[in-house]
């Protein structure tokens, strides 16, 4: 993909300053660039991207729209284990104890979604409600953001993305849910 020194990159700074982008500067610049190169080479009608990587999906959707790339981006729902943990290749790096702890992220997301559906409209209250669930777990972020801009919201009045990233040992897990206030 990079036969010579790369001097041109695709960036979406407004979509990458929060969530995963805050702790991983440059990651989405690389993702957007390589995906655009692949789309240009293959020229598909559709590209399927997982909703589990919500920020990546948002960056690619916006890139396609902004750069007039003739491809339909089709989101693919997150597949979950029976305990709610999002399926991921990262899960194989968890030891049995960590694997047992890992479902805390999905439990926190579903609890936050439930609170929003029951009328909670304060993002900080949602975060405070979820915090005790992560006792003893390194949390990179647990945020309520606008699903299009990925900017944090204070008041939940419409559709939001609840997203989190945790560390169990050296393994980083991400997950998210989208919810509309007052809609099941």
* Full-model pTM: 0.93
Q: Confirm if 134 and 111 have CB atoms less than 8 A apart.
A: no
Main-chain dihedrals φ then ψ at residue 150, nearest 5 degrees: 65, 15
Q: Do 72 and 27 sit in the same domain of this protein?
A: yes
125: enclosing H helix or E strand: helix 123-130
Q: What is the pLDDT of residue 184?
A: 58
Give residue 108's domain range: 89-180
Report pLDDT digits (tens) over 21-33. Answer: 999 988 999 999 9
The three-state secondary structure class of 154 is coil
Q: Is residue 160 part of a domain?
A: yes
Q: Do 18 and 45 sit in the same domain of this protein?
A: yes
Residue 3 has pLDDT above 90, yes or no: no
Q: Do 108 and 166 sit in the same domain of this protein?
A: yes
Report pLDDT digits (tens) over 39-48. Answer: 999 999 999 9
Q: What is the pLDDT of residue 180?
A: 93
What is the radius of gyration, based on Cα positions, of the chain? 17
Q: Confirm if 19 and 59 have CB atoms less than 8 A apart.
A: no
Q: Do 22 and 70 sit in the same domain of this protein?
A: yes
Q: What is the mean pLDDT of the chain?
A: 96
Q: Do 59 and 94 sit in the same domain of this protein?
A: no
Residue 179 has pLDDT above 70, yes or no: yes
Domain finish residue from 76, 100, 131? 76
Q: Angle 153-165-15 (CA atoms, 0-180°, nearest 5)?
A: 50
Q: Is residue 142 part of a domain?
A: yes
Residue 2 has pLDDT above 90, yes or no: no
Q: Angle 149-153-154 (CA atoms, 0-180°, nearest 5)?
A: 165
Q: What is the pLDDT of residue 21?
A: 94
Q: What is the pLDDT of residue 144?
A: 98
Domain total in the chain: 2
Q: Do 69 and 95 sit in the same domain of this protein?
A: no
Q: Do 103 and 171 sit in the same domain of this protein?
A: yes
Confidence band for 183, pLDDT divided at 50, 70 and 90: low
Q: Is residue 35 part of a domain?
A: yes
CA–CA distance, 28 with 84 (Å, rounded to integer): 27
Report pLDDT digits (tens) over 72-89. Answer: 999 999 999 999 999 999
The CATH number that applies at residue 167 is 3.30.1300.10
Residue 175 has pLDDT above 80, yes or no: yes
Q: Is residue 2 part of a domain?
A: no
Q: Is residue 8 part of a domain?
A: no
Domain finish residue from 53, 76, 99? 76
Q: Do 174 and 140 sit in the same domain of this protein?
A: yes
The three-state secondary structure class of 91 is helix
Report pLDDT digits (tens) over 52-74. Answer: 999 999 999 999 999 999 999 99
């Amino acid at each position: 993909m990079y036969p010579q020194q790369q001097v041109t990159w695709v960036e979406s700074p407004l979509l990458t300053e929060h969530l995963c982008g805050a702790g991983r500067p440059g990651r989405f610049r690389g993702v957007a660039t390589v995906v655009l190169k692949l789309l240009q080479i293959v020229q598909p009608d559709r590209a399927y991207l997982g909703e589990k990587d919500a920020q990546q999906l948002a960056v690619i959707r916006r890139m396609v729209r902004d750069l007039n790339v003739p491809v339909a981006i089709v989101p693919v729902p997150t597949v979950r284990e029976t305990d709610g943990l999002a399926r991921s290749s990262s899960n194989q790096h968890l030891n049995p104890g960590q694997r047992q702890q890992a479902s805390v992220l999905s439990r926190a997301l579903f609890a936050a979604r439930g609170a929003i559906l029951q009328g909670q409209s304060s993002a900080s209250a949602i975060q405070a409600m979820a915090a005790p669930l992560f006792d003893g777990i390194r949390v990179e972020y647990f945020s309520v953001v606008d699903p299009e801009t990925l900017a944090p919201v204070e008041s939940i009045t419409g559709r939001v993305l609840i997203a989190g990233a945790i560390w169990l040992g050296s393994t980083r897990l991400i997950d998210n849910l989208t919810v509309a206030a007052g809609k099941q």
